[in-house]
Structure 1
Amino acid sequence: MKISRIDVFPLRLPMKQNFLITGGSVGGVDQGAPHVYVRVVDDQGVEGWGEARPSHRWSDETLESVVTTLRRYIAPALTGVDAEDLETVHRIMNREIKGALGIGQPIAKAAVDTALHDLIGKGRNVRLSGLWLGPFRDTLRLSYLISTPDPEEAAEKARHAREAGFRGVDVKIGLDPRRDVEVLEAVKAAAPDLFFRVDANQAYTLPQAVRLAKRMEALGVDVFEQPLPAGDLFGHAELRRKIHLPVALDESVWTPGDVIRAVRLGACDAIVVKCTKMGGLSGAKRCGEIAREAGLELLGGGLTESSLGLAASAHLFNYLGIETPVDLNGPFFLKEDPVREGPQILQGGTVRLPDRPGIGCRVEEADVERYLAE
């Protein structure tokens, strides 16, 4: 299975609501959301699809940088390479695009890695779980994402999540730090029995995080995600010494080396596994396995990927044995995408995965063309 070509499709997918994090908007109803679809075709005509979801709000990769990285550097370098030799593929990608503290352009590389997993699965006629010699689980539970600085709106969303049968909520804070406690109190009052994950997206200093965590402990929050800046592992370790609330790292952990450093420093109780930021399924799988063996908890997350990225991540989270509801939030924000046969979102936020080889999704090329950003 030699790689014969790599096609890159920059897309703007329509959104049904705006999405804000501490750093600002990562997509909205007016401008849509930037996604990059990648198709890898081998010399037998088998094709695999992958996805990148860049945003300048959560990393230094943009729609434009992902496209130029893939078209000008990675695609030419991978032509003729064995599609099943993922170690060599990553070595070539990392040679062409080097990193500094981490791997360079991991979101762009994630699209290629995911597409190759899809291609290999189709070529061998096995699901992703079969590639990893694991059992196939066809369902996964989603958490319900709440991203608003308005306590009343947060309570309304929490009530909806509970009534709809969701088992967990993921609440973004730091949008208006003055109202964070009000937002959290409103959510807890409306949905007292749901798994309560709170994500700060690096919004606080250490003293601020300590004060807020004390309030969150009394409130019954289950995990405090990425309270401090990504590079401040020492600060997260100090925070853990001062509070009893479990701390999870997201933006701090992009590579297996980052996981090892976090473990050595005692910087967290859990890590967030995200395929897109970790260079694809290969890197995310390795990060999850290292963290699990080190005794850390695993949380599942995403970057508002479409159905394609959601399905790939869901397969991996099932393989890693993640039991808590995961934050694959694309369905809450995207109006539609180019996937016509893929994961189904059922009542209560349950995802039913397609029982087909590879990732299991059928991408409609006419819709890919329709959503092109160029």
Structure 2
Amino acid sequence: MIIKDVDVYPLRLPMKQSFAISGGKVGDPSSGAPHVYVKLTDEAGHVGWGECRPSHRWSYETLESVVSTLRHYIKPLLLGQPAEDVQGLTAQMNRHIAGGQSAGQPIAKAAVDMALHDLIARRRQVPLAGLWLSSGQGAVNLSYLISTASPDEAAAHAMAAKEQGYLGVDVKIGLNPAKDMEILEAVKQHAPGLFFRVDANQAYDLPAAVRTGKALERLGVDVFEQPLAAGNLLGHAELRRKIGVPIALDESVWSPGDTLQAIRLEACDMIVVKVTKMGGLSGAKLCGEIAKASGLGLLGGGLTESRLGLSASAQLFHHLQIRTPVDLNGPFFLADDPVESFPDLQDGAIRLSGRPGTGCDVSMHKIDRYTYA
């Protein structure tokens, strides 16, 4: 199972609506969304596909840096190597692309890691989860993402979430801090009983986070995600002592080492598992297992990946037994992607098919259509 070829496709996928976090827009209908697909082919002709979703709004990795890293540094490293040695190849990539605070270029590496898993699983004729001795069938509940600075729009989205059968909502705040509580109150009013996840994306300093956290406690929010800057673990630990809402870390936790540090400092109640930010399925699985073994809760998330990344993430979340609705939000924002066949996605859940690999087939015609030169 020697890797014969590595193809890297920079894509701009069409968006049906804009997506903004507290740091700014991560895509809009006029410019589309940057994605990178990686195709691995072995000597027998078996193929595996992986995806990553870079954005300068949530890390230093851009579409350009990811493509350059993959084509000029990672591809020569992979050619001629055994595809089944995922751990060894990951170690080689980490040595070849030096790290800083975390492993260097984890988003670029995530696409390779996903493609390796897909290739191995397809060759063995098992779903991704079968590689971890888990079932590749079952349902994973999704949360309905609400990202708006308008309380009226938030109310309309909350009603839509309820009507469409979603079991949870994920509300972005910090877009207009003066309106945050109005937005959250509107959501709570129109979607009572749903799992209520509030994500600040690092929008606050500690005093503001304490005030907001106490208000969230009164409102009945289930989890307050990443209120402070990513590196401020001590601040999150202090915030935990001052408010009653569970704290989840996302941007603070990119690696197993980050997970361990958050545990040591008692900085959170939960971590957000994301395949793309954690260097792929291998890193995300290990982060989740460390957190679970330490008694932390798990949330599932994504970076508006297409249905390829969504399916891979859902299989991992199913394996990790994440019960709360997960934030795999690509379908809310993408108008199209290169995936031809895909597990069933409706009524607020993805139903895993048990097909080999990710369960997705990729259209080369659409790859050509959306390739960004």
Within-5 A mapping of 1:63-82: 63-82=63-82
> Counterpart of 1:250?
250
> Counterpart of 2:356?
357
Partners of 2:209 and 2:256 lie apart in 1 by 26
Secondary structure at 2:137 match in 1: coil
Partners of 1:146 and 1:77 lie apart in 2 by 41
Displacement after TM superposition at 1:177 (Å): 0.5
1:79-132, Cα deviation, whole Å (9 max, x unpaired): 111100011111111111111110000000000000000000011111111100
Within-5 A mapping of 1:299-310: 299-310=299-310
> Counterpart of 1:218?
218
> Counterpart of 1:278?
278
> Counterpart of 2:259?
259
Secondary structure at 2:248 match in 1: strand
Displacement after TM superposition at 1:11 (Å): 0.2
Partners of 1:96 and 1:49 lie apart in 2 by 22
Gaps of 5+ in 2: none
Determine if contact 1:144/1:161 at 8 Å carries over to the other structure: yes
> Counterpart of 1:108?
108
Within-5 A mapping of 1:164-175: 164-175=164-175
> Counterpart of 1:237?
237
Secondary structure at 1:130 match in 2: helix
Q: What is the letter of the counterpart of residue 157 of structure 2?
A: K
Range with greater deviation from structure 2 (351-360 or 14-23): 351-360
Partners of 2:44 and 2:138 lie apart in 1 by 29
Partners of 1:268 and 1:373 lie apart in 2 by 39
Structure 1 length normalisation: TM-score? 0.99
> Counterpart of 1:133?
133
Partners of 1:370 and 1:343 lie apart in 2 by 23
> Counterpart of 1:346?
346
1:301-356, Cα deviation, whole Å (9 max, x unpaired): 00000000000000000000000000000000000100000122112x11122321
Displacement after TM superposition at 1:137 (Å): 2.9
Determine if contact 2:275/2:281 at 8 Å carries over to the other structure: yes
Displacement after TM superposition at 1:295 (Å): 0.3
Partners of 2:167 and 2:34 lie apart in 1 by 29
Partners of 2:294 and 2:238 lie apart in 1 by 19
Within-5 A mapping of 1:1-374: 1-347=1-347, 349-374=348-373
Determine if contact 1:354/1:361 at 8 Å carries over to the other structure: no
Determine if contact 2:137/2:354 at 8 Å carries over to the other structure: no
Q: What is the letter of the counterpart of residue 295 of structure 1?
A: G
Gaps of 5+ in 1: none
Determine if contact 1:78/1:92 at 8 Å carries over to the other structure: no
Secondary structure at 1:138 match in 2: strand
Structure 2 length normalisation: TM-score? 0.99
Partners of 1:209 and 1:53 lie apart in 2 by 29
Identity of aligned residues (%): 64
Determine if contact 1:154/1:187 at 8 Å carries over to the other structure: yes
Displacement after TM superposition at 1:229 (Å): 0.2
Displacement after TM superposition at 1:264 (Å): 0.3
Partners of 2:239 and 2:188 lie apart in 1 by 23
1:261-286, Cα deviation, whole Å (9 max, x unpaired): 00000000000000000000000000
Q: What is the letter of the counterpart of residue 370 of structure 1?
A: R
1:159-187, Cα deviation, whole Å (9 max, x unpaired): 11111111000000000001101111111
Displacement after TM superposition at 1:74 (Å): 0.3
Partners of 1:185 and 1:147 lie apart in 2 by 14
Displacement after TM superposition at 1:360 (Å): 1.1
1:37-76, Cα deviation, whole Å (9 max, x unpaired): 0001111110100001000000000000000000000000
Secondary structure at 2:353 match in 1: coil
Secondary structure at 1:26 match in 2: strand
Partners of 1:214 and 1:312 lie apart in 2 by 36
Partners of 2:27 and 2:2 lie apart in 1 by 36
